[in-house]
Amino acid sequence: MRLGQEPATGTLKSAHAPTCPVPELPEVETIRRGLERELVGRRVEAAEACGGPLRSPSPLPLGRLAGRRFAAARRHAKFLLLDLDRGVLVVHLGMTGKLLFAAQGGPRRAHTHLVLRLDDGRELRYVDPRRFGMLRLYRDARDVEEARHYGIDALDPALDDAVLGALLQRSRAPLKAFLLDQTKVAGLGNIYACEALWRAGLSPRRLARNTPASRVPALRGAIVGVLHDSLAQGGTSFNDYVDHIGQPGRFLLDLAVFQRDGGACRRCDADVRRIVQSGRSTFFCPGCQR
Choose one of 143, 175, 205: the last residue of a domain: 143
- Residue 60 confidence (pLDDT): 95
Coil/strand/helix, residue 113? strand
Choose one of 143, 164, 187: the last residue of a domain: 143
Q: Domain containing 83: what range?
A: 39-143
Catalytic annotation present for 24: yes
Judge whether 207 lies within some domain: yes
- Residue from 42, 217, 280, 286 carrying the catalytic annotation: 280
What is the model's pTM?
0.89
Query: Tell me, what CATH number does 89's domain have?
Result: 3.20.190.10
Catalytic annotation present for 78: yes
Judge whether 192 lies within some domain: yes
Asked if 120 and 201 sit in the same domain, the reply is: no
Over residues 252-267, the mean pLDDT reads: 96
Judge whether 23 lies within some domain: no
Structurally, the chain folds into a number of domains equal to 2
Choose one of 143, 169, 191: the last residue of a domain: 143
Kindly indicate the confidence band of residue 246, based on its pLDDT and cuts at 50, 70 and 90: confident
Asked if 139 and 159 sit in the same domain, the reply is: no
Catalytic annotation present for 7: no
- Residue from 32, 68, 75, 78 carrying the catalytic annotation: 78
Asked if 190 and 276 sit in the same domain, the reply is: yes
- Residue from 6, 21, 24, 27 carrying the catalytic annotation: 24
Angle 216-232/25-38 helices, nearest 10 degrees?
Answer: 40
pLDDT digits (tens, 9 = 90+) for 43-64: 999 999 998 889 989 999 999 9
Asked if 168 and 272 sit in the same domain, the reply is: yes
**Neighbour-count burial of 113, counting CB atoms closer than 10 A to its CB (0-12 exposed, 13-18 middle, 19+ buried):** buried
pLDDT at 15 over 90: no
Q: Rounded to whole angstroms, how far apart are CA atoms 284 and 265?
A: 9
> Which comes out higher in pLDDT, residue 101 or 11?
101
Catalytic annotation present for 215: no
